[in-house]
Amino acid sequence: MSEHRRTVTAPLLVANPVTLHVLGVCSALAVTTSLAASLVMSAALIVVVTVSSGIVSLIRRHIPRSIRLIVQITIIASLVIVVDQVLQAYLFAMSRRLSVFVGLIVTNCIVLARAESFAMEHAPGASVLDALGNGLGYALILVAIGTVRELLGAGTLMGVTVLPITADGGWFTPLEFMNLPPSAFFLLGLLVWTVRTLRPEQAEPARESMDITEAR
Amino acid sequence: MTSANPGRWWRRFLALPNDAPAKTIGVAFLVALVCSLLVTITAIALKPRRDANRMAGHAAQILALVDTLGGGVPDARLVDLATGAYVTYDPGTTVDLQSDRDLAGLGSRESVATVFEVRDGGVLRLILLPVRGAGYQSMLKGYLALQADLNTVAALTFYEHGETPGLGSRIEERAWQAGWPGKQVADAGGVIRIEVVEGAATGVHQVDAISGATRTSNGVTQLMRFWLGPDGYGPFLDRRRMEEEQ
C-alpha cells in the first residue's frame, strides 16, 4: 500500500513532471491567467493521462513495437477529442477560453511519457496510479501559478474579489504583467529554482552546451 | 479446423508474435476502429448540447452587432426561402442545390431560415441575414446586416471559419469588415453587383480583397451572390421591398 501511495505522491513534489523534467510547460504558460482555467485544464489533463495510461497498460502485451507510438497517440488523441467535446457541451465559455490548449494535450509530453515509459511496462493498476500522480503534479504547478497570476493580475480568485482593485475604488493596483504569458515563465522559473534549491539533487549537471529537452 | 469459431480466431490472433505483420495490421485496425467509434459516439451524443451553446453564442453576437449599428431589439423571424414569406414553423428540411446554381458550395440549404429584424416604431431599420459559404478550406459563417432600403450593407461579420491564420482568417478582423458598410448590393436594375476585388476597390459595389487570400475573398463574393440571389434571400428581400413600402 505504501508503495502505491508513493507512486501517486512522488510526482507531486519529489519528481514533479513540470519542475523536475520541465514537461508540459507550454500549457502551463498559456492557460494560467486564472485559477478556474488552470483547474479545468488540470482536470482535462488528469483524465486524459490516467485513462490513456490505463488503456495502454491493458493492451501493452499486444502492442507491436514498430507501431507502439502511433497506437499510444491514437488512444491519447481520441481521449483528448472526447474531453474537448465534453467541455464544449458542458463548460462552453471555459472551452472557448482554453481554445486550442485542450486539443494540445495530445502534444503534452507528460501524457506520452507516462504511456511510453511507464504504462508499457507495468500493470494497469500501477500505471493508473502513476499517471494520476503525474497528472496531479502537473495540476499542482498549474494551480499554484494560476493562483498567483489571478490574484496579482486581477485581484480575484475564481472570479471572487480578494484584493479590491483601484479601478473599482479599492487600494490594489493589479500587475498588468501577470496577465501576459511571460509572467508564467518567470513564476515557473522561480518555482523550479526554489524546488532545486531545496533539493539540490534535482539540478542537472552543468553541460558544455545547452540541451533543450522539451518545449511543450 | 473450424475457422468459423470467432473465439478461436481471436485467441490465435492474440497468440501471434507482436512483430508479425498480421498482428501489426490487426492491432492498428482494431485500435483505430475502437477509437473512431468512441469519438463518433461522443460527437453525436453531445451534438445537441454543443449546438445549443453555439446558438447562445450567436445570440450574443447578434446583440453585439445590433448594438454597434445603433441599438434596438432584434426580432427573430422564420422565412420560407423559396417563397420569401414569413412562416411560423421550421420543418427542419433542406433543399438540394443544383451544382451550377450552388455558388456558395453548400450542396443543400435549409428551406426555412431565421432572420433578425430591428424596427423603430414598426418601421424596418435593419435586417440581419445569416450567410455562409465555402472559403479556401472551411465553411465561412457570418451575418450580413442590410439597411432599411435592403440594398445598402450595414455590416458583414463572420463568427466562424477555419481559414489560414493571418491570411484568410482576416475576414473576422474589424479592419477588413470595415470596408463593407455603405456598399450597395445591387445596381439600379436589381442585378446583384457586390463583389470582393483584388487591387483597388472602386465604386459602390466593390470591397478590397484580402491580399494572400484570393480563394477566401472569392468565397465571400460567391456567398454574397448566392444568399442575395434567387436561391437565397432574393424572394424574401423582393417581398420585403414591396410590403415595407406600403
pLDDT digits (tens, 9 = 90+) for B70-97: 888 888 899 999 999 999 988 888 999 9
Q: Is the pLDDT of residue A143 over 80?
A: yes
SS (H, E, C) B153-178: EEEEEEEECCCCCCCHHHHHCHHHHC
Cβ distance of B53 and A78 shorter than 8 Å = no
Partners of residue A52 on adjacent β-strands: none
Give Cα separations from B241 to B127, B147, B190, B245 (angstroms). Answer: 12, 12, 12, 6
Q: Are B116 and B139 in contact (CB under 8 A)?
A: no
Q: Is the pLDDT of residue B144 over 80?
A: yes
Pairing of strands B75-80, B112-120: antiparallel
Give the closest-approach CA distance of B130 to chain A in angstroms. Answer: 22
Average pLDDT for chain A: 86
Query: Which residue in A75, A90, A92 is closest to B31 by CB distance?
Result: A75
Q: What element of type H or E holds B27?
A: helix B21-68
Cell numbers of B227, please? 444568399
Q: What is the pLDDT of residues A166-216, one digit of tens each?
A: 877 888 888 888 887 788 889 999 988 898 888 888 777 765 544 555 444
Q: Are B193 and B205 in contact (CB under 8 A)?
A: yes
- Interface test with chain A among B36, B42, B54, B55, by most A beta carbons within 10 Å: B42
Alpha-carbon gap, residue A148 to A176, rounded angstroms: 13
Q: Are B210 and B166 in contact (CB under 8 A)?
A: no
How many other C-beta atoms are found inside a 10 Å radius of the C-beta of residue A10?
15
Alpha-carbon gap, residue A45 to A51, rounded angstroms: 10
The residue of chain B nearest to residue A55, with distances taken between CA atoms, is: B31
* B31 interaction partners in chain A (CB closer than 8 Å): 59, 71, 74-75
Position A165: which residue type?
I
Residues with Cβ within 8 Å of A177's Cβ and at least 6 positions away in sequence, in order, are A153, A183
Alpha-carbon gap, residue A83 to B154, rounded angstroms: 40
Pairing of strands B206-208, B195-197: parallel
Cβ distance of A74 and B38 shorter than 8 Å = no
- Interface test with chain A among B16, B19, B39, by most A beta carbons within 10 Å: B39
Can you give the pLDDT at residue A206?
64
Percent of all residues in chain B with a pLDDT value above 70, rounded to a whole number? 97
How many CA atoms lie less than 13 Å away from A9 in the CB half-sphere?
A: 6
Q: Are B153 and B144 in contact (CB under 8 A)?
A: yes
Q: Is the pTM of this model over 0.90?
A: no
